[in-house]
Amino acid sequence: MVSNKKFKKIGRKLARWNKETQDQYMDEGGKEWPPVDRLVKRWKSASGLECAIARGYVAYCAYVKVPKGHPLDGKYYTHVEGDIQVHGGLTFGCKAKEGGTWFGWDYGHAFDMWVFNNSDIFSQHNGRLWTLEEIIDETELTAKNLAKYPKKG
């Protein structure tokens, strides 16, 4: 059995490791994001936020960028998951090179169809194949909700 003292020490190490991992992950924004070679569409939403859709390994990935100063700017995506409702939950977050923070999610979950090499389709549980138009609509809705997100103070 682990003593209380040892348990607390392990907890502190995990917390420090978790913070370092989050900081490193959030620094991905030093790179061009979303990756240009996988970019399908990039646009400014009706609510004014920048959006993008990229081709993941087996499914589309959607992204919305909150601007610098937004209440969620700089937050790690797992810390805001309940605040942003998207298909399958948030799976990505990074600082934007030009300021702000990108949040992303994908369409490759257990009840989705996955497309390999643009032709081979795989599905568990007779999943759903999302169209690009449906993903654009959901991305626009997410951008609208983020634009209305409660302001600081």
Give the tens place of pLDDT for each residue, 65-80. Answer: 999 999 999 998 888 8
Quick check: is 72 in a domain?
yes
pLDDT confidence of residue 32: 65
pLDDT confidence of residue 66: 95
Quick check: is 32 in a domain?
yes
Average pLDDT over residues 33-51: 90
Torsions phi, psi of 14, nearest 5?
-60, -40
Average pLDDT over residues 95-111: 89
Count of Cβ atoms closer than 10 Å to residue 86 Cβ: 20
144 contacts 47 by C-beta, under 8 angstroms = yes
pLDDT confidence of residue 55: 87
Quick check: is 64 in a domain?
yes
Q: Total domain count for the chain?
A: 1
pLDDT-derived band at 134, boundaries 50, 70, 90 = very high
**Boundaries of domain holding 31:** 4-147
pLDDT-derived band at 61, boundaries 50, 70, 90 = very high
Quick check: is 85 in a domain?
yes
Quick check: is 152 in a domain?
no
Three-class DSSP labels, 103-147? EEEECCCCCEEEEECCCEEEECCCCECCCHHHHHHHHHHHHHHHH
Quick check: is 153 in a domain?
no
pLDDT confidence of residue 80: 82
pLDDT confidence of residue 98: 87
Quick check: is 134 in a domain?
yes
Q: Is 69 exposed, middle or buried (0-12, 13-18, 19+ CB in 10 A)?
A: exposed
pLDDT-derived band at 18, boundaries 50, 70, 90 = very low
pLDDT-derived band at 128, boundaries 50, 70, 90 = confident
Query: What share of the chain has pLDDT > 70, as a percent?
Result: 68
Quick check: is 36 in a domain?
yes
